[in-house]
Structure 1
Amino acid sequence: MMPDNVVNNILHRLPLQEAVRTGILSRNWRFKWTMLSEVACNASFFAYLIERRVENSFGMVANRLLLHFNGAITKFALDLTLLNGEDILHLIMFLSKKGIKDLNLEYWSRPQVNLPTHIFSCLELQHLRITGCCFNPPHGVRGFPNLLSLKLCCVEFGGGDLGGFITRCPLLEILKLDYVSYTGSSVKLAEIAKLENLKILSFPLCHLETTSSCNVFELLGCLPKLQEVGLDFQDYNLTEAGAIKVFQAAFPSLKAFKITRIKFGNGIMLSRVLEIIRRFPNLQTLGFTAVQQADDPFPISIPIPNPEVEYNTMELQRVEFLEV
């Protein structure tokens, strides 16, 4: 008989449906799958149910299946697309009582589904990724005191105060926001500055409270542990007045810098980006995408740095041209 740690290693490498099917191997294997601590009810799992023409609702199947797990479920990935609101509520309530630490929720349909507020009862969460949902923190919510990484993609943030919510996750090391929409006030630099442990930041600049380029430097300067930064310039209307201040500080800890959806036809914006790059003496990876405005007189081209400016990027190893 194999030791439990070896069995668990095998089961964790299998899709959920295959892990459950190992119960037919022998009497000893019958309930081994119930020891799993990492579970994925993802698109592959639901495709399997469709292929087998399961008559019960997919949410009912997932809920009944999870009731068989004995210990804590520390990592869980769930595709919400084929589930109704009641199914989602029951699953989140269940996970909130199972010591969940790593949660990945995806929804690939319209209109976006509202996540139940029970998700804020998962106070042991360390990693949270949400794609394609409405995320509505209730007023006065404590946030996630143990959260290390937060990734929101194509999310409608309904809580209003995005910056305030972020500050209620004080241990954050990774913050990535992509196509996040919200109706509240812009994020303040002082709010991001509270995330003193932040190592990776991917952030739309249009969420900042002003359109001054010096704010970009201030944003980076208040986060000394940053190693990787991605700045999205879409809808970020930098003014000439906001580009005047020169910032002298360098950021030696930064190793990777990604610039997204920048307008190369905007000379002010381009000069500020080159000024930013100049402040990264140990930069190893530089990546960017560009967008072209309809009224740009010339096609997009790679800018030529000013030869009179010392860029101090001898550590640069890779330049990536990312897809638009």
Structure 2
Amino acid sequence: MEPIHGRHKTSMFAHEDVIGNMPDNVITNILDRLPIHDAVRTGILARNWRFKWTMLSQLVFDDYFFKYLRRANDENDHVRVISRILFQLRGAVTKFALYVDGELDVEDEDIIHWISFLSTKGIKDVTLVYAGEEPFKLPTHFFSCLELKHLTLINCYFNPLPTFHGFPNLLSLVVRLDLRENTRVGEVITRCPLLEILKLDSLGKVKLAEIAKLENLKILSLSLSDLDIHSSRPIIELLGSLPKLQQLELDFENCKLIEGVANKRFSLAFPCLTTLRLSRTCLDDGIHLSCALNLIRSSPNLQTLQISASNCDTASCPRVDENTMGLLDDNTTGLLHLQSVLFEYLDGSENELCLIKYLLDSSLVLKRFVMYCNMFHFITPDQMLKFASKLLKLRPASPVVDIDLS
């Protein structure tokens, strides 16, 4: 039996040596792919792995992490645990995500302390979701994180010092906050020359002219509810100044467009735009319909179109003018290169039918056309049959392969 035990011990120690002698970059790679609490527990793998978790470079304190803490501890010691983990890290911290909901006993001073530490660790990716009643005011030293590449802020307040010159390496910025206050987001935006992704839940005091300076922008998501068309360039002109734009998302909720601007025909073209999403747009409003139509027609390489309709008071909506009707009636077979179209919350209005007919007539390479009806409005079977029959009349060489009239 002794030889067997000997071989067993040799094999066990050899296995421990393999785990324990991994290169640091390999260990860090492994740890970063684990939930934080599992990464900390890797100390049981081998004797010299006891503090390997301090090589973590990516930290995600999300709901999954906090649920684990609640199961493991009766006391609300989230701050102590996060601080203990954070301040024992040895190397650079490239990613930090913190989701603070209303149930967590986390003070603003705690977050400020953590951000102060991260500002010295070469942080590149920050996500901060703050569920407090008042927005979290980012500390001034946050704006010294010049290596930042990705930044997502939910309910966080911008207030950089006058000496702030921007984030020179920032590639993506997502901000969800009531921007009607002077949060200086526009100032930050203009000082991020490499920005490729910008998502704003509200424009507020951010001017379209400031966004127009982002020549590298590829993805843009905007809410137009606060758009002041009198003091800012129209949205079409904004897009004309973004030569690399590939994906555009516009939310038209409570957006009031001026007839003279929305209904004119545009000569600008957006050759790089391949995906267009228009949400909460009132197609019964002739001005909204005209704006949507001009966006579609101005994008010759558009492949994916998603439109989410919104209910509005049809009695007060402007009618479709002659210019828009002319665009819808043009013989434009083959004008568009759409492959996928999704309509949501349709109620079968005449404007919707006209737009759908135009899209079907103009898109010879269409592969998928999906329509979801508004569950609060009754649509007759005849209207559904009209939709279906028009879809089925497309050329066999470019058939619609997915039809959903639910």
Q: Under TM normalisation by the shorter chain, which class is it? A: 0.7 to 0.9
What CA distance in whole angstroms lies between the structure 2 residues aligned with 1:94 and 1:167?
Answer: 27
**For the pair shown, which has the larger CA radius of gyration, 1 or 2?**
2
- CA distance change for structure 1 residues 313 and 148 in 2, over 3 Å: closer, same or farther? farther
Residue 241 of structure 2 aligns with an amino acid whose one-letter code is C
Secondary structure of the structure 1 residue equivalent to 2:329: coil
Corresponding residue number in structure 2 for 1:13 = 33
Deviation at 1:158, TM superposition (A): 4.7
Residue 87 of structure 2 aligns with an amino acid whose one-letter code is L
Q: Do the aligned residues in 2 keep the contact of 1:277 with 1:311 (CA within 8 Å)?
A: no
Q: Do the aligned residues in 2 keep the contact of 1:201 with 1:226 (CA within 8 Å)?
A: yes
Query: Structure 1 stretches of 5 or more lacking a match?
Result: none
Corresponding residue number in structure 1 for 2:140 = 117
What CA distance in whole angstroms lies between the structure 1 residues aligned with 2:38 and 2:263?
Answer: 61
What CA distance in whole angstroms lies between the structure 1 residues aligned with 2:286 and 2:158?
Answer: 37
Corresponding residue number in structure 2 for 1:221 = 240
Equivalent position to 1:47, from 67, 83, 93:
67
- CA distance change for structure 1 residues 161 and 89 in 2, over 3 Å: closer, same or farther? closer
Residue 341 of structure 2 aligns with an amino acid whose one-letter code is V
Can you list the C-alpha shifts for 1:233-292, whole angstroms capped at 9, x where unaligned?
123211112235422122111110111211122111211210110111111111121221
Q: Do the aligned residues in 1 keep the contact of 2:200 with 2:223 (CA within 8 Å)?
A: yes
Can you list the C-alpha shifts for 1:178-212, whole angstroms capped at 9, x where unaligned?
2x374xx45142x2221111111111234544169
Equivalent position to 1:235, from 241, 249, 254:
254
Secondary structure of the structure 2 residue equivalent to 1:104: strand
Is 1:134 the counterpart of 2:157? The answer is yes
Secondary structure of the structure 2 residue equivalent to 1:306: helix
Deviation at 1:296, TM superposition (A): 2.7
Corresponding residue number in structure 2 for 1:24 = 44
Q: TM-score, normalised by structure 1?
A: 0.87
Q: Do the aligned residues in 2 keep the contact of 1:211 with 1:238 (CA within 8 Å)?
A: no
- CA distance change for structure 1 residues 11 and 48 in 2, over 3 Å: closer, same or farther? same
Corresponding residue number in structure 2 for 1:57 = 77
Can you list the C-alpha shifts for 1:16-35, whole angstroms capped at 9, x where unaligned?
00110111222122122111
- CA distance change for structure 1 residues 39 and 264 in 2, over 3 Å: closer, same or farther? same
- CA distance change for structure 1 residues 267 and 309 in 2, over 3 Å: closer, same or farther? farther
Secondary structure of the structure 2 residue equivalent to 1:150: strand
- Choose 92-101 or 142-151, whichever is displaced more: 142-151
Corresponding residue number in structure 2 for 1:72 = 92
Is 1:203 the counterpart of 2:204? The answer is no
Corresponding residue number in structure 2 for 1:319 = 341
Q: Do the aligned residues in 1 keep the contact of 2:253 with 2:281 (CA within 8 Å)?
A: yes
Secondary structure of the structure 1 residue equivalent to 2:126: strand
Q: Do the aligned residues in 2 keep the contact of 1:34 with 1:68 (CA within 8 Å)?
A: yes
Corresponding residue number in structure 2 for 1:284 = 303
Secondary structure of the structure 1 residue equivalent to 2:338: coil
Q: Percent same amino acid at aligned positions?
A: 49
Equivalent position to 1:258, from 277, 280, 285:
277
Deviation at 1:140, TM superposition (A): 4.9
CA RMSD in angstroms comes to 2.7
Deviation at 1:138, TM superposition (A): 4.2
Query: Structure 2 stretches of 5 or more lacking a match?
Result: 1-17, 317-323, 346-373, 375-406
What CA distance in whole angstroms lies between the structure 1 residues aligned with 2:200 and 2:64?
Answer: 26
Q: Do the aligned residues in 2 keep the contact of 1:105 with 1:131 (CA within 8 Å)?
A: yes
Residue 287 of structure 2 aligns with an amino acid whose one-letter code is I
Deviation at 1:56, TM superposition (A): 6.2
Corresponding residue number in structure 2 for 1:87 = 110
Is 1:106 the counterpart of 2:129? The answer is yes
